Amino acid sequence: VTGSVVDLSGIKNQDERKKIVDAIKEASEKWGFLQLINHEVPSSVMEGMIDGIRKFHEQDVELKKEYYSRDRGIRRVRYESNIHLYQSHTANWRDTLYISMLITGHIEPEEIPAICRKEVIDYTDHVKKLGDTLLDLLSEALGLNTDYLKSMECAKGKTLVCHYYPACPQPELTLGTDKHTDPDFLTILLQDQSGGALQVMHNNQWVDVEPIERGLVVNIGDFLQILSNDKFVSVNHRVLAKKVGPRISVACFFHGAYEPPKIYGPIKEFISEENPQLYQEFLVRDYMAKFFSRPVNMSGLDLFRM
């Protein structure tokens, strides 16, 4: 499937915008994901980012080594390789470059590896603007004021997660990425056109998501499911390992206000006698700490459900 495809080209026209908001509302309630076209991120910027991430991962291992770390907390830019940990069937078959803008919302150019610096800066500038636009549309889709989610700093902290999936000799024994939901408000995913590896859970079945040329995949995260008190769904998704490769994807996670901490929870307008509050309030840092140390088969939402 392609899922719900939303064309943003008419966003400034009142009638067209209403159609866009309605389409986003339906996709967020039924699927938890959608694909965007005509989203104002130029093709050249998207292709440049894919190419820059490929170059980073394919450079000599000695050059990547200075970024290597398995410590989530300290380094804002770090490289992790799981391919060489391939002892268990559950290891994810991929290498990853993480670029964290969790606290300040931005990163100094010199912190980004030189081989992909320009591409990362260009793409980040565009994807931040798109994130703000989407939060406006999602606010309207929830029946709230346009700036509601933005005023709650839902786009403040971000992380870019840049995966490189090599060809896998035995794809049936592993996954590119395990089943999970995202610990954020929303995720914008850029993927190369090799396609067919991303799957979402819909009606208890795994469904292939076919990439659309020049499209971006957007999925609702746990935090938006909590704020909406289950009106919107945070979608379970996974990535299959493939015999063909390499494949490249770049996910931008919008985590909200990490520091200084802000309390998030179900929005009061969505709570009543008929619709009781379903989740506890939380701090982003607490949610993420619990999320990354949870048992494999447990969702983050389960940890905060009342």
Whether 167 and 246 have beta carbons less than 8 Å apart is answered as: yes
User: HEC profile for 55-109?
Assistant: HHHHCCHHHHHHHECCCCCCCCEEEEECHHHCCCCCCECCEEEEEEECCCCCCCH
Nearest Cα neighbor of 228 from 128, 304, 149 is 149
Which runs of E-coded beta strand occur in 169-286?
Answer: 175-180, 186-191, 198-202, 205-208, 216-220, 237-240, 247-256, 263-264, 282-283
Query: What does the block give as tokens for 130?
Result: 């798109």
Rounded to the nearest 10 degrees, how much is the dihedral formed by the CA atoms of 276, 278, 282, 285? -160
Task: Render each residue's pLDDT in the chain as its tens digit; 306 residues.
Answer: 667 899 999 999 999 999 999 999 999 999 999 999 999 899 999 999 999 999 999 998 888 888 887 666 667 898 887 754 444 444 566 788 999 998 877 889 999 999 999 999 999 999 999 999 999 999 999 999 999 999 999 999 999 999 988 776 665 555 556 778 999 999 999 998 776 578 888 889 999 888 888 999 999 999 999 999 999 999 898 877 666 678 899 999 999 999 888 999 999 999 999 999 999 999 999 999 998 888 777 788 999 999
Nearest Cα neighbor of 213 from 9, 32, 47 is 47
pLDDT at residue 64, as a whole number: 85
**pTM as predicted:** 0.92
* CATH number listed for the domain at residues 5-303: 2.60.120.330
3-state secondary structure of 33: strand
Whether 148 and 139 have beta carbons less than 8 Å apart is answered as: yes
Query: What does the block give as tokens for 209?
Result: 């998501």
What angle separates helix 14-30 from helix 117-141, to the nearest 10 degrees?
A: 90
Whether 133 and 8 have beta carbons less than 8 Å apart is answered as: yes
Phi, psi of 13 (to 5 degrees): -95, 130
Cβ-proximal residues to 298 (8 Å cutoff; 6+ apart), any chain: none
Cβ-proximal residues to 219 (8 Å cutoff; 6+ apart), any chain: 32, 33, 182, 186, 187, 189, 200, 234, 235, 237
C-beta pairs of 145-154 under 8 Å, 24+ apart in sequence: 149/185, 149/227, 152/256, 152/257, 152/262, 152/264, 153/256, 153/257, 153/262, 154/185, 154/223, 154/224, 154/254, 154/256
pLDDT at residue 192, as a whole number: 86
Domain ranges for the chain, please list them: 5-303
